[in-house]
Chain A
Amino acid sequence: MNRRAYLGVDAGSISLNLVLLDADGAVLFEAPYRRIEGNPVAAVGAGLRELRATLPADVEIAAAGVTGSGRHLMAAVIGADVVKNEISAHARAAVHLHPDVQTIFEIGGQDSKVTVVRDGAVVDFAMNLVCAAGTGSFLDAQAKRLNLSIEAFGAMALRAKRPTAIAGRCTVFAESDMIHKQQIGHRQEDIVLGLCHAMVRNFLGNVCRGKEVRPPVLLQGGVSANPGIRRAFEDVLGYPVTVPERHLAMGAIGAALFAARAGVSRTRFRGFAIGEQPVETQGFDCEDCANRCEVVEIVVEGEVIGRAGGRCRKWEATGAAAGEAGESAETLKR
């Protein structure tokens, strides 16, 4: 009999992560970190090709889960059984791998979140609202200005002796402040650690405001790959912060765990052909109401396999239900 395995895909704003878990939740496969670079469909195709190349013949995919900000599109593309928000997915994976966790910091490319966990259950969470100054994009922007790769940036932060104080409320002002600090002769590694501190202060001050941050703390999401940020968190909080072994794949692991628990009898996963077939997207503006949503259709071999992007749920209810989905607010206009 074939071994059942569960696929998890985390389609974030910057990167796409893909894992395969066995029935006990152990990781069978983790695709290498991949930047989406504007094409999530190509990215998942590449990930699936890699998975197929390493997959033993007796393993079958019993269910698939997706998460991340691009989850709705991704769900249609791969044929997911479970679509989960990234807060719940990250928490699920964290509790699975570190059952004693109390606080999760999840910092991604454009979102940063704090999740408060007590007794293995999420009791509170918060997320950045409009400003990206507490996220990976902030560090990316600053590293570019210093002409450093983001990997070299983290390593350099670890060499710093005294972090330079940098105004990190806003990326633009951080740049002005950083240039000023360079001009008065601060060492570059101190400036780099200063930037990490600025981001951490921003995160703790804005996103975590009013939330009960207690150790053990897990740091996950794309930014957790940066050792400078971990050091800055430990400097500010005064206790160790754990970066889980598979810190980049935590969202995907969570999605796969949810898929495993969902009790799927027959998966909707469309198979590895997704990696081979050309997947096209086309869009239209729905004119049924004043919102004028831009709806995206995913097309494989001339057939619409899913839709995403509407504000009401009528387009997501694919197939026959969509066409007759009903009148909207505007028809009530006098």
Chain B
Amino acid sequence: MSALAIQPWGNYALALAASVECLRVEPWTQTSSTPEMLRLGVEASPECSCLSFKASTGHFIRAAMEGVPYGVMVNSRGTCRLRYYREAQQKILWERGLNLHIFGLGYDGFKPPLIRYFDPDPWPFLQCCARARLKTLVVDEIEKQAWRLRARECRPGETTRVMNGCLRALREARTTREIRAVSRGVPERFAGIATDPDRPVLRVGLLGEATVLRDRFLNHNIEDLLGGLGVEVCNFFLLGDEIRNIFHIGFNSPNSRRALRRDAAPWLTTPVGGHATESVAHTVRCAREGFDGVAHICPTGCMPEISIRPILRRISRELDFPILECSFDEHSSHVGFVTRLEAFVDLLHDRRRKRGAA
């Protein structure tokens, strides 16, 4: 059977892999990039391209080296450079003599090119999409439990182990019935984790650029690091919401594009591409909903997210709300990043103590 390389997108890779089953190809993906992929990508990419570009280019190069003939890459509409990534990556691969054809997933006609090429039967295709959607929801459910418990666990690393167990079960689930069974078992699996009820737990929102938010190699394992420091995180890149927004369904969802634009409107009305509007809206919401702070994370030079940094600083000032800015590229020092996270957590604890005393 032929294979299809899918960009690593955190644990959503499981759902994305399930979505291509009906195309009669084997998905080639993983839950995070690897140092080797990044090295390959950095060598092949223009220096000024962003970390996400370099990592996904490296991913496709690695796939091509293993003989994978096809790949799929988002190339969504919008003002971010992501729109041209598929073409740029395809050119890089061809110039290196690698025969991997990358399909776009964006709008260029009624059917996305991937569907046009493989032309699956409509009914199995829809069933497959429904299963993938269900897996996405289960991934979200698993991660929410992990975010909550990692900050409170007594034995470091236990939550991650349970989470990986759930994800493996989810990967093996083939039918809707099996996926639902995994979903039902999730609370039970997490219930076994011993927690410390007295630990003061902070709440921090993670927002910014989607790939870096979800790829734990690129974001230096931020969810795990913060969890270890006693912080319950909430990652605001949710694939389910993203898909709903792409297909303009779910108008009344709190995370619909319209609702997000409304919340961002006092600070940002012009679309600047990427997930910039979402970042602004979620920052404002976190401030209102009693989060202790947010971490805004993006690749160095990510145009949309960098454009809103001054806006985020203004929000931080006006709403008296701490925001940690983190930019990543292939040279980012892990030690320096950990230092900043720890100092940020100390700052948030101090604020909380002061508020408690006041």
Contacts and interface: CB of A to CB of B under 8 A. Distances in A.
A334 B155 CA distance: 29
Contacts of A292: 34-35
B32 interface: yes
A313 B168 contact: no
B28 A334 contact: yes
Contacts of B284: none
Ranked nearest first, the 3 interchain pairs of A and B with the lowest CB-CB distance are A326-B161, A87-B343, A290-B34
A6 to B, nearest CB: 18
Interface in A302-334: 311-314, 316-317, 321, 325-334
Nearest to A314: B157
A129 B336 contact: yes
Nearest to B330: A130
A127 to B, nearest CB: 6
Interface stretch (A20-28, A33-41, A117-125, A230-238): A117-125
Contacts of A130: 329, 331-333
B156 to A, nearest CB: 5
Contacts of B33: 290
Main SS of chain B's interface residues?
helix
B217 A291 contact: yes
14 contacts: A85-B342, A87-B340, A88-B342, A130-B333, A210-B313, A290-B36, A314-B156, A327-B168, A331-B164, A332-B31, A332-B168, A334-B27, A334-B29, A334-B171
Interface in B131-166: 155-158, 160-161, 164-165
B338 interface: yes
A331 B169 CA distance: 12
A103 to B, nearest CB: 15
B120 interface: no
Nearest to B37: A290
A102 to B, nearest CB: 15
B242 interface: no
B265 interface: no
Interface residues of B, number: 55
B164 A327 contact: yes
B339 A86 contact: yes
Contact of A121 (B32, B157, B338, B350): B350
A69 interface: yes
A111 interface: yes
B119 interface: no
B199 interface: no
Nearest to B220: A311
B167 interface: yes
Interface in A188-223: 210
Given A290-B32, A290-B35, A313-B157, A332 B350 contact: no
B276 interface: no
Interface string B13-47: 11001000000001111111111100000000000
Interface string B200-234: 00000000000000001100110010001000000
Given A87-B343, A121-B350, A334-B29, 7 more contacts: A122-B347, A291-B34, A312-B224, A321-B157, A325-B157, A325-B161, A328-B164
* Most chain A CB within a 10 A radius of its CB, from B29, B331, B335, B343: B343
A129 B336 CA distance: 8
B332 to A, nearest CB: 7
B258 interface: no
B184 interface: no
Contacts of B28: 334
B327 interface: yes
Contacts of A332: 11, 13-14, 30-31, 164, 167-168, 171
B35 A88 contact: no
B166 to A, nearest CB: 11
Contacts of B30: 290, 329-330, 332-334
A321 B155 CA distance: 8
Contact of A313 (B11, B31, B224, B313): B224
A259 B351 CA distance: 21
B31 A329 contact: yes
Contact of A312 (B160, B322, B340, B344): B160
Contacts of A121: 347, 350-351, 354
B178 interface: no
Contact of B346 (A122, A313, A328, A330): A122
B334 interface: yes
Given A290-B34, A333-B31, A125 B347 contact: yes
Nearest to A129: B327
Contacts of A328: 164
Contacts of A127: 336, 339-340
A125 to B, nearest CB: 6
B164 A291 contact: no
Nearest to A327: B164
A85 B327 contact: no
A329 B9 CA distance: 12
Contacts of B161: 325-327
Contacts of B310: 210
Interface string A127-166: 1011000000000000000000000000000000000000
Nearest to A311: B221
B329 A125 contact: no
Contacts of A125: 340, 343-344, 347
A291 B346 contact: no
A61 B216 CA distance: 40
A332 B164 CA distance: 8
Given A122-B347, A122-B350, A312-B224, A69 B335 contact: yes
A332 B29 CA distance: 10
Given A122-B347, A129-B332, A312 B35 contact: no
A129 B32 CA distance: 24
Contacts of A326: 157-158, 160-161, 164
